[in-house]
Structure 1
Amino acid sequence: METELNDKQLQIMDKALEVFAEKGFDSASVRDIAQRAEVNVAMISYYFGSKEKLLEAIFRNHTGNMRKKIESIIHSKTHDPLEKVDLLIDTYVTVIIENHSFHQLMMREQVLMKEGPLYTLIKDMKTQNRNLIEVAVKAGQKAGLFQKHIDVNMLAVTLIGTVNHFFSNYKFICQERHTKPGKDSDFDAESTEKLRSHIKVMFKAFLTYGISNKK
């Protein structure tokens, strides 16, 4: 059962994320976070125990919200399998845009991460998301809309890898498109819409290949 976070905890977590994103987890200190959040170090210790536990709390909060959104789409009875694919793609891109600092931090930390509590949380999250995508794929197969042999792992890699590459290279992409990049949290709407559309076309082509072409 998830424990509800109070306003002070959410404030600390929000400011800690800013500090972690700016300095990196290892370089950020609890004192840095306390100053940014305008609280004392003892309060951070009281609520979270350590810097590592604070990062885990941030991770649980962000990924928990994402999982709830994905579950809501997967288990919806008002959308067919292809509509669910569109909604999953829209949701993933939107969550990245709205929580860009968090995803930048997690991408960077995963490269340096050794096995431990956070590593296990990330592995479990990826497994859960992969399983949810598999549920959506199987529903499409059962309805006769998707091809029978689909590598769900590669499907997830295609989605996550494409979106991560887009946002990691956003300024370069804007230069190529002759558009002016905004702040990291204010992405060009036209570029992100092209990203969504591209992934949707790619997914539908892959999921229905050999079915949509049948006479």
Structure 2
Amino acid sequence: MEEYSEKQLSILMVAERLFADQGFHGTSVRDIAQEADVNIAMISYYFGSKDKLLESIFKYRMEASRKFINELVENDTMEPLEKINSLIDRFVLKILGEQHFQCIMSREQLNSQQSPVRDLIWQLKGEMLGILRPIVSSAQDAGIFYKDVDVEMLMTSLFGTIHQVIPAQHILRNSPEAKDLNDDEYRTYLRNRVSTHLKKLFKAILTHEF
């Protein structure tokens, strides 16, 4: 994983927020430099261009996920369902905690033009499918998971559910259990609610137990 200095990370986080709020084409390098309190030359020195800066944001966010998934697969002390639950907790925490990045990612996936960023997205999605399959298949061979499982649709259910929660937060906030919570309490409540739902869903699909 590429190491970034504190100043580089500051630039990446500012750029991520501005790209999410204003769009990639609506954000200039000057905007980023002003918000990050650096000069334009420093951004060019560190990242080369605005396109490369966006690419660096994606590489930074996605490399952490790649590392976690690899460690999870190699862990031989966890039961298959524990690994699945750990994967769910990880991505609920990550996606709900990185909403600016998820906003950019959603836009880039819908971009019809070929780009290095879009290639990175589909590369990581392919890797995640490739890693989830052996977890599921080994558990199927051991008679732990049900045979008729569509792994691609499992991953779609995971990411689709979490992504749908992001724009629906103001509706979920009105539920009786959440309406009186402060912001920190609500974030914890929402993460737990989404994780619990997905774990029940995955367990039902994988084991036919509810």
Q: Tell me the TM-score normalized by structure 1.
A: 0.89
Aligned to 2:75: 76
Q: Could you tell me which amino acid in structure 2 is paired with residue 46 of structure 1?
A: Y
- 8 Å CA contact retained: 1:181, 1:188: no
2:4 maps to 5
Q: Which residue of 1 aligns with 2:96?
A: 97
Change (3 A) 1:180 1:111: farther
What is the CA distance between 1:110 and its match in structure 2? 2.4
Matches within 5 A, 1:38-187: 38-177=37-176, 179=179, 187=186
Say if 2:2 and 2:60, in contact at 8 Å, map to a contact too. no
List alignment gaps of at least 5 residues for structure 2.
none
Give the Cα–Cα distance (whole angstroms) in 1 for the partners of residues 80 and 40 of structure 2: 49
The answer to whether the Cα contact below 8 Å between 1:150 and 1:207 also exists between their aligned partners in 2 is: yes
Distance 1:31 1:152 in 2: 44
Q: Distance in 1 between matches of 2:167 and 2:51?
A: 25
Query: Offset at 1:182?
Result: 6.0
Question: What percent identity do the matched residue pairs reach?
Answer: 37
Distance 1:186 1:8 in 2: 31
Contact preservation (8 Å) 2:146, 2:207: yes
The secondary structure found in structure 1 opposite 2:166 is: helix
Find the aligned partners of 2:94 and 2:185 in 1 and give their Cα distance: 13
Q: Which amino acid is 2:13 matched to? A: D
Gaps of 5+ in 1: none
**Cα displacement (A) at 1:176:** 3.9
CA distance in 2, matches of 1:169, 1:195: 12
Show structure 1 runs of 4+ deviating over 3 A. 180-183, 185-188
Cα distance in 1 for residues equivalent to 2:146 and 2:120: 32
**Shift in Å, 1:180:** 5.2
- Counterpart Cα distance in 2 of 1:70 and 1:206: 21
**How many residues of Structure 1 are paired with residues of Structure 2 in the alignment?**
209
8 Å CA contact 1:113–1:119 kept in 2: the answer is no
How much does 1:149 deviate? 2.6
TM-align CA RMSD: 2.0
Q: Give the alignment's TM-score, normalised by structure 2.
A: 0.91
The CA distance in 1 between the partners of 2:127 and 2:181, in whole Å, is 34
